[in-house]
């Protein structure tokens, strides 16, 4: 009420009765004590202005910051920090730092003139702001590593060359009419404009070097679909060269496990085993969702039998299912 009275009175008397503070215009009605207490309260309320912003950012520790941590390496050499473990450690750190601040930090701050609670609060706010700035910088750096998922009206095409040969590809792919795919390299186009599906024609010819590189120069086709990631793998099959086509998953793992695909031109009588670098044991696909070809009854089948069974010889994929 004192504020309302001060505003109305000031609008009428500002030019004829100037006061030191705008709240002084309510002194006649509410008294000096209430005016002084209101001024003190308003000064304190200024401290609360940044609090909504601070807590909105601070509470991201349990959401966005944890998600950010899942994309980072928490290996300290002697211990690996899990993304959600800092939420448990934080209350413990508070209990540890309270006496540490009283014994060490506050005496050091007093040496540079920071003694009053308001000064300490301001300094803490500055450091909190710097923490958010650092988190922003880290997120910007991480964005370059995020997978690009095709949106509506887009498709992705990748071509992997698993042969010890270079190949020239001439096609009607927009902006990629003629290019060379080096041995053990890949072609990638993440932003193809596609509505429904699209078919691109191409011819494949060997430019060497390497043995057994010859390929029939006939017209072939790439087929891509909207919001899908399609890949082709150039491989050796029987006495010729063929392209294996497969589709990558665009859905995130439901269990949080990473998903990877290994492409390789391996002999049909070989087995491929993925092993943890910290253990000599092979992955247990039922325990952690990894793929071990030794556990696959079709692993050593000839190529034609594996394709009939729905498995592709050079492709091994880690999944959470």
Give the model confidence (pLDDT) of 219-244 as tens digits: 889 999 999 999 999 888 777 788 88
Residue 114: exposure state from Cβ atoms within 10 A (0-12, 13-18, ≥19): middle
pLDDT of residue 304: 34
pLDDT band (50, 70, 90) for residue 321:
very low
Average pLDDT of the chain, as a whole number: 77
Number of alpha carbons in the 13 Å side-chain half-sphere of residue 125: 15
Q: Taking Cα atoms as reference points, which of 193, 109, 114 lies closest to residue 156?
A: 193
Cα Rg of the chain, angstroms: 33
Average pLDDT score over residue span 77-100: 84
- The confidence band for 302, taking pLDDT boundaries of 50, 70 and 90, is very low
Least confident of 49-58, 89-98, 132-141, 302-311: 302-311
Among 182-191, 267-276, 288-297, the range scoring the smallest mean pLDDT is 288-297
- 72 pLDDT band, cuts 50/70/90, is confident
Is the pLDDT at 316 greater than 60? The verdict is no
* Cα–Cα distance list, 153 to 6, 147, 224, 252 (Å): 61, 18, 12, 20
Structural domains of the chain, with CATH: 61-144 (no CATH), 154-247 (2.60.40)
- Of 69, 91, 90, 64, the C-alpha closest to 80 is 69
pTM above 0.75, yes or no: no
């Amino acid at each position: 009420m004192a504020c309302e009275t001060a505003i109305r009175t000031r609008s009428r008397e500002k030019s004829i009765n100037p006061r030191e503070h705008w709240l002084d215009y309510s002194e006649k009605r509410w008294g000096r004590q209430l005016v002084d207490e209101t001024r003190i309260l308003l000064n304190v309320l200024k401290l609360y202005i940044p609090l909504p912003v601070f807590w909105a950012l601070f509470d991201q520790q349990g959401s966005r910051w944890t998600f950010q941590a899942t994309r980072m390496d928490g290996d300290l050499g002697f211990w690996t920090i899990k993304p959600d473990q800092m939420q448990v450690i934080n209350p413990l750190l508070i209990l540890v730092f309270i006496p540490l601040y009283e014994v060490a930090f506050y005496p050091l701050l007093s040496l540079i003139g920071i003694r009053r609670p308001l000064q300490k609060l301001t300094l803490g706010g500055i450091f909190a702001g710097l923490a958010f700035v650092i988190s922003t910088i880290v997120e910007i750096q991480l964005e370059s590593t995020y997978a690009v998922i095709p949106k509506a009206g887009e498709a992705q095409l990748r071509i992997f060359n698993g042969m010890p040969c270079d190949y020239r590809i001439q096609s009607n792919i927009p902006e990629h009419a003629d290019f060379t795919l080096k041995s053990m390299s890949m072609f990638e186009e993440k932003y193809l404009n596609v509505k429904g599906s699209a078919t691109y024609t191409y011819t494949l010819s060997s430019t060497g070097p390497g043995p057994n590189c010859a390929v029939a120069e006939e017209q072939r086709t790439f087929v891509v679909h909207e919001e899908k990631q399609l890949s082709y793998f150039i491989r050796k099959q029987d006495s010729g060269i063929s392209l294996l086509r497969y589709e990558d998953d665009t859905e995130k793992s439901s269990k949080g496990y990473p998903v990877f695909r290994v492409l390789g031109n391996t002999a049909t009588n070989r087995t491929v085993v993925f092993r943890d670098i910290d253990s000599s044991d092979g992955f247990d696909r039922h325990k952690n969702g990894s793929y071990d070809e030794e556990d696959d009854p079709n692993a050593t089948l000839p190529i034609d039998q594996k394709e009939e069974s729905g498995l592709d010889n050079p492709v091994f994929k880690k999944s959470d299912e």
